[in-house]
Amino acid sequence: MARLAVEVPTVANGGISEDLTQITWKLQPGLVWSDGTPVTSADAKFTYEYCTHPEGGCAQAARYEGIASIETPDAETVVITFVAPKPNPYQAFVGGTSPILQAAQFANCLGAAASSCNEQNFKPIGTGPFVVKDFKVNDVVELEANPNYRDPAKPAFATMTVKGGGDAVAAARAVMETGEFDYAWNTQINPEMQAQMSAAGKGVLLNGFGTLVERIEMNMTDPSPALAEGERSTTKHPHPILSDIKVRKALSMAIDRQALVDIGYGSAGRASCNLVPAPEMFASPNTDCIAQDMDGAKALLEEAGWTDSDGDGVRDKDGVKLKMVYQTSTNPVRQDFQVIIKAWWNELGVEVELKNIDASVFFGGDAGSPDTFQKFYSDVEMYANNFDGTDPEPYLAQYLCDKIPGPDNQWQGENINRFCDPAYDALVAELAKTSDMAERGKIAIRLNEMLTKDSYVVVPLVDRGRLSAASNTLGGVVLNTWDTELWNAQDWFRVK
Amino acid sequence: MLNYVLRRLLIAIPTLILISLVIFFLVDLAPGSPASEIPLTVPPDVREKIMESLGVNQPVWVRYGLWMKQFFYVEPLYGIDAMFGTDLAQGAPRLISYSSRVPVFQYIGERLPQTLTVIGTAYVLAVLIAIPIGIYSAYRQYSWFDQIGTFVAMIGFSVPTFFTGLLLIIVFTVNLHWFPSIYNTSLSVTDWASFKTQVQQMTLPVITLALFNAAEISRYTRSSMLENLAQDYVRTARAKGMGERTVVLKHVLRNSLIPVVTVIALGIPTVFGGAIITEQVFKINGIGAALIGAIQVNDLPVVQTIAFLTAILIVLFNLVADILYGLLDPRIRYD
């Protein structure tokens, strides 16, 4: 759906060049900013320069990756040329997180000045249905209807207030129980409270699924503290236990994913065996892992030579105990999951040591800390990740051999599992060259399966949806998990 | 007296420098990184650039020096500029929050009004309630009034505010619909209707906090009064034929107030520091909520600045308490 463009450019309508190196956007004629001045292609070009400035620290810089130049032949035409064929060119200027800035407003905010442009950063001029009247950091945003909105009949509301602070339960309560607010997003509350709040009858809980998957990652390298610093969890030492696929598979088989969903997420989650659960064309139909198979898992471990020879309840092989350190970030749902999974693995004959780390450290990426998820100083770890937009290519490309974190790259790689398979690398390279969507879907499914059901390096648990709360008096709400939840606020109205 | 105050202020300078060092380095050395707030979907090279633009990668001494300069030199200049419309700061880089990129002092400025209104009102109310209760409880020790006062104080002191706050919300907001559960910081009082709304939204958090504070202060007043009531000078005053009112309110109260004044004066900085839990419960989004939010996302400049401002206030109010001793008790002389 094109918002500011006349239509979405495709190869068929000539908007994308045959060799996939160029995309041409045509702006709708007569489009104006909220201050009444015209939106031009120069604004788009400026936005590109703004976000790719080396000193700006722009968080969306990845969206402009691979762009060779942006030309503006006339005021309504934006031509983006890529350095190489780009099968998915809908990155720059697409979606709520890649807006076009008004060049006139941000002209003095390039580079290092970006962070000191307070007025601009907190009251940007845009083309949306509302304009910012007041912005109090981490507290409240006051919005007013945009008098210059492109559809004069919209929006239906004269003002909108966005309130921050508090927690998910309080936000849900304000919509579902007290009715003080009309809409709340990210209301991740436990299934019991979901039922209780829905019973109050003031609102409904909406859920939709995106690409966020809670998963257990297997460490393919040895995290043993006996190894020297700089050798631990590096490719120099393969994992003594988890290198065996049978052990990885058995650990996955012992998990009852539906039980985890019921305990932690309720309607906001569903059991998943896929790393890429959506969009449909990229998602594998694989459901092998859904049913728990404790006996099968035990048999598999026996087959792999892990038996309980000394009768202490923990399996061993060649004098090595089957013991796992299982880490994750501190979060009530994750600790529940840890305890339950530990019980299943204990039943399997695996000794499990649980560890939880404050999220600011775990995800902090500090090369000096032993507790980051990248360093992975444990056997298995659990967290959630997703990908931006609808194209899983960059996400799947994280598992390339050369993206393994290690001391030589300050532990900054994205291949957390230290998975390395030349066949996988070759397939990722092929994906980058493929432009046919059906073919891309097939390759993505294959890649996903190589990581999950073929190798059990990544053990997906729960496809985590979004849970939002909407008042019964608010009409027109459509939950869209691919963009900001306010994506269609122009269509919202009051139900009488 | 003036000499004494000056001397104390001078001593405060090295104290505060020491405190600033401890705060800065403790917060800085704590594990965690602002990078944890950048979504995992952002690739590592972009992540690195963001961190660089924040200035996080500079050595800790450089950042400490810069922080001190911004705190004591640049920010006051901006303050003067804002008040008198001058341009002394000339665009010098301000102290900026890592997570929101807003100047820290502007952030605190946005947060201070609601903290002062709500937490300040609760504190004043607590003092006004607690002192008379403390006096009467001591004067009529073990009477039914004292028993009830003790009971209420025990509850107020031992039940945590997140429990009382939530209880009040469930009773008065969810069930009775009398008061809102969410504090509207944009509300400006212009007429009676908006004043009424303001009072309504303040009611629940003020009750929650006042109960907690009053419990503490009333206990201090009571025990201090009890101690003095048994003194010889009280008997002497009564023997002179003075009325009970004069004995209790003039002689005993004045002597009993010294420890109470310490407690009250040292409680005032916490009013500025906000009430972390109560602010979270009622979404007041004041200083306390800003502090806890900043700690969660490793927004070091905000944490360090709020902690240091609180330290300055504590040093100041310590001095205020010492001066008040001299006024209450003529035997205490500082010259």
CATH classification of the domain holding A90: 3.90.76.10
Residues A177, A109, single domain; the answer is no
- pTM (2 decimals)? 0.80
Q: Which two tokens stand for residue A147?
A: 């008098």
User: What is the mean predicted confidence (pLDDT) over B73-88?
Assistant: 84
pLDDT at A381: 95
Q: Do B32 and A115 touch (CB under 8 A)?
A: no
Residues A444, A379, single domain; the answer is yes
B contact residues 43-82, partner A, Cβ 8 Å cutoff: 43-44, 46-54
> Which residue type does A254 have?
A
Query: pLDDT tens digits for B142-182?
Result: 999 999 999 999 998 899 888 998 899 889 988 888 888 88
Task: Answer whether B9 touches A (CB < 8 Å).
Answer: no
Q: Do B31 and A371 touch (CB under 8 A)?
A: yes
What's the gap in Å between the CA of B133 and the closest CA on chain A? 34
Q: Do B182 and A181 touch (CB under 8 A)?
A: yes
Task: Please report whether residue A16 resides in a domain.
Answer: no
User: Which among A65, A97, A119 is the end of a domain?
Assistant: A119
Task: Please report whether residue A380 resides in a domain.
Answer: yes
Task: Answer whether A58 touches B (CB < 8 Å).
Answer: yes
Residues A65, A148, single domain; the answer is no
CATH number, position A186: 3.40.190.10
Cβ neighbours of B182 in A, within 8 Å: 163, 166, 170, 174, 180-181
Residues A148, A40, single domain; the answer is no
What's the gap in Å between the CA of B69 and the closest CA on chain A? 17
For A195-221, the DSSP string reads HHHHTT-SEEEEEEEEEEEEEEEEP-B
Nearest residue on chain B to A181, alpha-carbon basis? B182
Question: How many C-beta atoms surround the C-beta of residue B44 within 10 A?
Answer: 19
What residue has token string 């976000």?
A51
Test mutation, B38, B53, B298, chain A, max A CBs within 10 A: B53
Task: Answer whether A152 touches B (CB < 8 Å).
Answer: no
Test mutation, B45, B49, B50, B201, chain A, max A CBs within 10 A: B49
Task: Answer whether A388 touches B (CB < 8 Å).
Answer: yes
Residues A489, A445, single domain; the answer is no
Nearest residue on chain A to B40, alpha-carbon basis? A385
> Which residue type does A194 have?
Q
Q: Which two tokens stand for residue A83?
A: 């350095």
Q: Do A139 and B110 touch (CB under 8 A)?
A: yes
User: Which among A90, A119, A148 is the end of a domain?
Assistant: A119
Task: Please report whether residue A3 resides in a domain.
Answer: no
Residues A184, A227, single domain; the answer is no
> Which residue type does A171 have?
A
* Cβ within 8 Å of residue B191, ≥6 positions away: none
* ipTM of the complex in this document: 0.74
Residues A421, A301, single domain; the answer is yes
What residue has token string 């129980």?
A177
Q: Do B283 and A414 touch (CB under 8 A)?
A: no
Average predicted confidence (pLDDT) for chain B: 87
Residues A235, A369, single domain; the answer is yes
Task: Answer whether B298 touches A (CB < 8 Å).
Answer: yes
Task: Please report whether residue A5 resides in a domain.
Answer: no
Q: What is the pLDDT along chain A (496 residues), one digit of tens a residue?
A: 788 999 999 888 888 888 888 999 999 998 999 999 999 999 999 999 998 888 777 878 888 888 999 999 998 999 999 998 888 888 888 887 788 999 999 988 888 777 778 888 889 999 999 999 988 888 889 999 999 998 889 899 999 999 887 788 888 988 998 888 999 988 888 888 888 888 888 899 998 898 999 999 999 999 998 888 888 999 899 999 999 999 999 999 999 999 999 988 888 899 999 999 988 889 898 888 899 999 999 999 999 999 988 888 899 988 889 999 999 998 889 999 999 999 999 999 999 999 999 888 888 877 778 888 988 999 999 999 988 778 888 889 889 998 898 888 888 888 999 999 999 999 999 988 887 888 989 999 999 999 999 999 999 999 998 889 999 999 999 988 888 888 889 999 998 7
Test mutation, A360, A403, A404, A482, chain B, max B CBs within 10 A: A360
Burial of A116 (0-12, 13-18, 19+ CB in 10 A): middle
Q: Do A365 and B33 touch (CB under 8 A)?
A: yes
| CA separation for the pair B75, B126 (Å, rounded) | 34
Task: Please report whether residue A10 resides in a domain.
Answer: no
> Which residue type does A234 have?
T
Task: Answer whether B33 touches A (CB < 8 Å).
Answer: yes
Task: Please report whether residue A52 resides in a domain.
Answer: yes
Q: Which two tokens stand for residue A241?
A: 């236990």
- Enclosing domain of residue A143: 127-208+466-494
| CA separation for the pair A258, A380 (Å, rounded) | 20
Cβ neighbours of B165 in A, within 8 Å: none
Q: Which two tokens stand for residue A215?
A: 């998963």
Residues A336, A432, single domain; the answer is yes
Task: Answer whether B97 touches A (CB < 8 Å).
Answer: yes
What's the gap in Å between the CA of A294 and the closest CA on chain B? 33
Residue ranges of domains in chain B, CATH in brackets: 33-94 (no CATH), 105-328 (1.10.3720.10)
Cβ neighbours of A140 in B, within 8 Å: 184-186, 285
Cβ neighbours of B34 in A, within 8 Å: 364
Contact A405, A366 (CB under 8 A): no
| CA separation for the pair B271, B288 (Å, rounded) | 9
Cβ neighbours of B37 in A, within 8 Å: 360
What's the gap in Å between the CA of B78 and the closest CA on chain A? 13
| CA separation for the pair B255, B232 (Å, rounded) | 13
Max Cα separation, chain B? 85
Neighbouring C-alpha atoms within 13 Å toward the C-beta of A403: 20
Question: How many C-beta atoms surround the C-beta of residue A451 within 10 A?
Answer: 24
B contact residues 201-260, partner A, Cβ 8 Å cutoff: none
Residues A250, A353, single domain; the answer is yes
Q: Which two tokens stand for residue A379?
A: 């056997």
Task: Please report whether residue A17 resides in a domain.
Answer: no
| CA separation for the pair A62, A112 (Å, rounded) | 18
Q: Do A136 and B40 touch (CB under 8 A)?
A: no
What's the gap in Å between the CA of A223 and the closest CA on chain B? 21
Cβ neighbours of A114 in B, within 8 Å: 53
Task: Answer whether A410 touches B (CB < 8 Å).
Answer: no
Task: Please report whether residue A8 resides in a domain.
Answer: no
Task: Answer whether A114 touches B (CB < 8 Å).
Answer: yes
Q: Do A361 and B48 touch (CB under 8 A)?
A: no
Closest CA to A393 of A464, A336, A443: A443
Residues A133, A243, single domain; the answer is no
Alpha-helical segments (H) within B30-70: 44-54, 60-69
Q: Residue A366 is nearest to which of B33, B46, B111, comparing CB atoms?
A: B33
Nearest residue on chain B to A180, alpha-carbon basis? B180
User: Which among A93, A119, A145 is the end of a domain?
Assistant: A119
Nearest residue on chain B to A416, alpha-carbon basis? B40
Cβ neighbours of B91 in A, within 8 Å: 116
Q: Do A361 and B36 touch (CB under 8 A)?
A: yes
* Percentage of chain B exceeding pLDDT 90: 25
What's the gap in Å between the CA of A321 and the closest CA on chain B? 32
B130: pLDDT strictly greater than 90: yes
Total number of domains in chain A: 3
Q: Residue B180 is nearest to which of A167, A180, A412, comparing CB atoms?
A: A180
CATH number, position A385: 3.10.105.10
Residues A143, A162, single domain; the answer is yes
